[in-house]
Amino acid sequence: MRRSRKGLTFNICATVLVLSGAVFFLGCTIEQTSSNSDAHSVTVADGAIDINLASAEELAKIPHIGPKLAGSIVEFRELHGPFRRPEHLMLIRGISNSRYHEIRAFVKTQ
C-alpha cells in the first residue's frame, strides 16, 4: 500500500512534469505559429517581400510604408512594369534614400 502511494506520487509528479513540458513546448509552438500566421504567401525564407508580387495591403504592412505609399508602389508597377531592382523603389515620389534604407531589409525582387 505504501509502495503504491509512493508510486502514485511519482506518477503524478511525472505526469505534471510531462504535461508542463508539453504545455511549454506547445505554447512555444503556438506562439511561433501565430507569428507565422501574419506572414503571407509572398514571404520568402529571408523575410523580405517581393515588391513585384505583393498586393497593396501586403506592402502596407512593411514598416515605414503606409497604405498611401503602398498604393503608389502598386500604381507605379502597373504603369511602368515590374521593378528590376528593389532600389528602384526610390523612383517613387515619397521614397527617399533614407526611407529606402529603413525598408531595404523587407523588400526584394525575384
Partner 1 sequence: MKTSNPNFSKYPLVWLAGGLMLGIIFGKVAAAPALASLAVSIGAASVAFAIRGRRYAGLFLLIAFCFAGIFILGESSANERADRIKTVYDSGQIESGEPVEVEGTLIGKPEPSIDGFIIRLQVEKLVHDTAEQNVSGVIKLFAMAADPEAETEYAAMDLRYGTRIRVACDLSREEQFQDPGVVSQKLVMDQQGIDATGTIKSPLLIEVLGRKSVFVPLAWIFDQRQDLIYSLRQNLNPSTAGVLIASLLGDRHFLDKRTADVFREGGTFHVLVISGLHITFIGGMILVFIRIFTRNRVWPVLATTAFLWLYAFAVGAEVPVVRATLMFTVLACSQLVHRNGTLFNSLGLCAILILAWRPYDLFTASFQLTFVSVGAIVVIAFPLIQRLREIGEWTPTRKSPFPPNTRPWLRQFCEALYWREDVWMIEQKRHIWTTKLFKTTKAAWLSREGMRKLIRYVFEGMVVSFVVQACLLPFLIVYFHRLTMASIFLNLWVGFFIAVESFAALTGTLLSYLDASLAGPFFRVAEFFNWMLTAVPGFILDTGWASFRLPAYSGVGRSLYFLYVIPVAILSRAIFIWDPFQLIRRGTFVHLRWCIAFLILSATIIVHPFSAPSPDGRLHIDFLDVGQGDSALITFPDGQTMLVDGGGKGRFRTDTGDGEEEQFEPDTQRIGEAVVSEFLWDKGYSKIDYILATHADADHIQGLVDVSKNFEIKYAMFGRTPADDANYTELADVLAKRRVAITTIARGDELNVGGVSVTVLYPAAGVSPNEVSNNDHSVVLRIVFGSKRILMTGDIEKGAERSLLAEPTSLEADVIKVPHHGSRTSSTEDFVNAVGAKLAVISVGRHSVFGHPNPEVVERWKMSGAAVLITGEAGTVSVSTDGQNIYVDHFRK
For residue 109, give Cα distances in angstroms to 4, 43, 44, 89, 104: 66, 12, 11, 11, 11
Residue keyed to cell 517581400: 49
- Asked if residue 75 binds partner 1 (CB under 8 A), the reply is no
Member of 37, 41, 97, 110 binding partner 1 (CB under 8 A): 97
Window contacting partner 1 (CB under 8 A); options: 15-23, 46-54, 57-65, 81-89: 81-89
- Distance, CA of 23 to CA of 13 (rounded, Å): 15
Cell triple for residue 30? 503556438
- Residue 55 C-beta: closest distance to partner 1, Å: 21
Member of 22, 80, 103, 109 binding partner 1 (CB under 8 A): 80
- Asked if residue 45 binds partner 1 (CB under 8 A), the reply is no
Residue type, 69: L
Window contacting partner 1 (CB under 8 A); options: 11-19, 37-45, 61-69, 83-91: 83-91
- Asked if residue 12 binds partner 1 (CB under 8 A), the reply is no
Q: Is 49 helix (H, G, I), strand (E, B) or coil?
A: strand
Member of 6, 40, 68, 85 binding partner 1 (CB under 8 A): 85
Q: Are 92 and 71 in contact (CB under 8 A)?
A: no
